[in-house]
Amino acid sequence: MLQNNREFWWSVLVSVVITGVYGLVMLVTKKIPAAGELFGHSLGILGFILMIMTETLYSLRKRSRFTAWGKMSDWLQFHIFTGLVGPFMVFLHTSWKFNGLAGVVTLMTLVVVLSGFVGRYIYTLIPRTAEGIEIETPLGGAQASVLANARRMMALWHTIHIPLGMALFTAAFYHIGAALYYATFLK
């Protein structure tokens, strides 16, 4: 069980460590780390970089036909790990303030992450090889119809999850641009 979900448990472990560092910063400064200060900015920047990696690297690997890039199952685990840790860091970056465009970006991030959990569940319904390649052999009878339904659900999920992710990144880039403009360039 733990072997099948190791990316989840690694992301939990890393998130616990990040939470510990966040708590230590709160203890030392005696305040919630502000999004615009060094630690808050660092969380936001590193989290956003992980989210960009989540969005781009796995997609590039899926479209690449070269096996030198590694197994698809490893890339999916990387996608899940960065897709959990990055948004968690961005969430901590908010300083617990969810108004304006930043609040919209936070809500969209939550929706995309929850959608990812749904996709992971649907993904497990489709039998695959150890490399993560779908098994094409029909299983016969009712199992074949379950497999066909799982593939249809996965296709539907893709038509929702991918545009949500693109909308999230569009809003996030607007947020970053506005933050740079108002907090940095106008000073």
- The 3-class SS string of 44-55 reads HHHHHHHHHHHH
Instruction: Name the strand (E) or helix (H) holding 147.
Output: helix 141-179
Query: Structure tokens of 71?
Result: 């197994």
- State mean pLDDT over 60-77: 75
Alpha-carbon span 48 to 180, nearest angstrom: 15
Q: Does residue 33 contact residue 89 with C-beta atoms inside 8 Å?
A: no
Residue with tokens 């966040």: 22
Read off φ and ψ for residue 119, nearest 5 degrees. -60, -40
Query: Structure tokens of 161?
Result: 């999850």
Residue % of the chain over a pLDDT of 90: 25
Q: How many CB atoms lie within 10 A of CB 64?
A: 13
Which pLDDT score is estimated for 32? 92
β partners of residue 128: 134
| Position with higher pLDDT, 16 vs 134 | 16
User: Could you tell me the residue ranges of all domains in the chain?
Assistant: 6-185
Q: What are the pLDDT digits (tens) for 6-52? A: 888 999 999 999 999 999 999 999 999 988 888 988 999 999 999 99
Alpha-carbon span 144 to 127, nearest angstrom: 11
Alpha-carbon span 148 to 153, nearest angstrom: 9
Looking at residue 69, the DSSP 8-state letter turns out to be G
Amino acid (one-letter) located at 36: G
The CA-based angle 148-144-1, given to 5 degrees, is: 85
Q: What are the pLDDT digits (tens) for 98-118? A: 888 888 888 889 999 888 888
Query: Structure tokens of 40?
Result: 């808050």
